[in-house]
Amino acid sequence: MLNNQKIVFSGIQPSGNLHIGNYIGAISQWIEMQKKYNCIFCIVDYHAITVKQDPAILSKKIIEIAKIYIASGIDTQKSFIFKQSDISEHAELAWILNCASARINDLNKMTQFKDKAGQNNVSVGLYDYPVLMAADILLHETDFVPVGDDQVQHVELCRVLAKRFNNQFGQTFKIPELIIKKYGARIMGLDNPNIKMSKSAISPANYIAMTDKPEMAVKKIMRAVTDSGNEIKFDKINKPAISNLLVIYSLLSNQSIEHLEKIYINKNYSDFKKDLANVVSEFLKQFQKKYNNISDKEVENILEKSAKALKPKTDVVLKKVKEKIGVSL
């Protein structure tokens, strides 16, 4: 049940392999926030279908993502984990926002759409994705949205849409705040430190999936691109690859970047990578021990129970919105 603490809402698409970038940038913040807030974590399957998905794989990925949330430390006794498509009000509110608040000029500015669309003839859903995301956030009367760096523009748009709606129809939506980490908000690809680590990357060398075998992760770290020179130093401009590896090392081992720089003063890239590979491998072993103990049935029950518990509140919010726009008689 929701209590009178503030509300945190965030989600991840069940598309591709959830990676340590998603964990560091988003999920690790969620774990901490559970201590202080009502937390609602969504598996955003309607976002995933904005690009082509194999239906059989998609349903397996939904279960996998829920297990990853739980094994990472989401406490299902306290926090909610639910599937977006189980609460149809998300899609309904997105349509209302499409018409009442969102403008083509807003969506034309979204850089993620430009990156993902390229020159392809993509779905209308991919273009409209930020409006559905705004609906997700506003429907749950969210106070805080903890996300990685690539979602900042979308949360900002959500705030714009909510304010625009409130201005036209009177106070309706709470304006949510963005929560972003100082370090780790954008983990870069291991194969290219100039592009972000991404679930849908073509090469698996780009990411370390949370479900990668630890031995595989060790190989990926040892093969990760490095910079010229041999100094282990945080310098995003001149040493983007080593800086990225330092951030991963720091956040998975709870040691500051300054401390790590000191430890590796007289050591080379290979020493540094071997130790980092160990840290990542240990992290995955601990995580996967928990992950492998969660059954599909347990997850299905959790998703169903959360959706049932959240639905009455989303009904109230949508009803209020419908009254404001004049479609509720």
- Considering only residues 121 to 180 of the shown chain, the ones binding ligand AQP according to CB under 6 A are 147-148, 150-151
Shortest distance in whole angstroms from residue 290 CB to ligand AQP: 20
Binding mask 60-89 for ligand AQP (x = CB under 6 A): ------------------------------
Per-residue interface string for the shown chain with ligand AQP, residues 18-57, x marking contact by CB under 6 A: ---xx-xxx-------------------------------
Binds ligand AQP (CB under 6 A): choice among 13, 142, 244, 306: 13
As a whole number of angstroms, the distance between CA 259 and CA 273 comes to 16
CA separation for the pair 104, 10 (Å, rounded): 25
Minimum separation from the CB atom of position 44 to ligand AQP (A): 6
Between CA 291 and CA 210 the distance in angstroms is: 10
Q: Which is nearer to ligand AQP, 181 or 239 (CB)?
A: 181
Q: DSSP labels for 268-295?
A: -HHHHHHHHHHHHHHHHHHHHHHHTT--
Site string for ligand AQP, 267-306 (x = CB under 6 A): ----------------------------------------
Active site residues: 116, 196, 199
Tell which residue, 286, 280, 270, 277, has the closest CA to residue 71.
286
203 binds ligand AQP (CB under 6 A): no
For residue 154, the tally of other CB atoms under 10 A from its CB is: 22
Distance CA 75, CA 94 (A): 29
Residue 227, Ramachandran bin (φ over 0: left; ψ between -120 and 50: alpha; else beta): beta
Number of residues that bind ligand AQP (CB under 6 A): 21
The residues near 41 (Cβ < 8 Å, ≥ 6 apart) are 9, 10, 11, 30, 69, 74, 79, 80, 81, 82
Count how many residues are written for the chain.
329
Minimum separation from the CB atom of position 15 to ligand AQP (A)? 4
Q: How far is the CB of 236 from ligand AQP (least distance, A)?
A: 14
Handedness of CA 257, 74, 63, 283 (dihedral sign): positive
With CB under 6 A as the contact rule, the residue among 59, 88, 111, 200 that binds ligand AQP is: 200
Please report how close the Cβ of residue 10 comes to ligand AQP at its closest, in angstroms: 6
Point out which residues bind ligand AQP (CB under 6 A). 12-13, 15-16, 21-22, 24-26, 147-148, 150-151, 185-187, 196-200
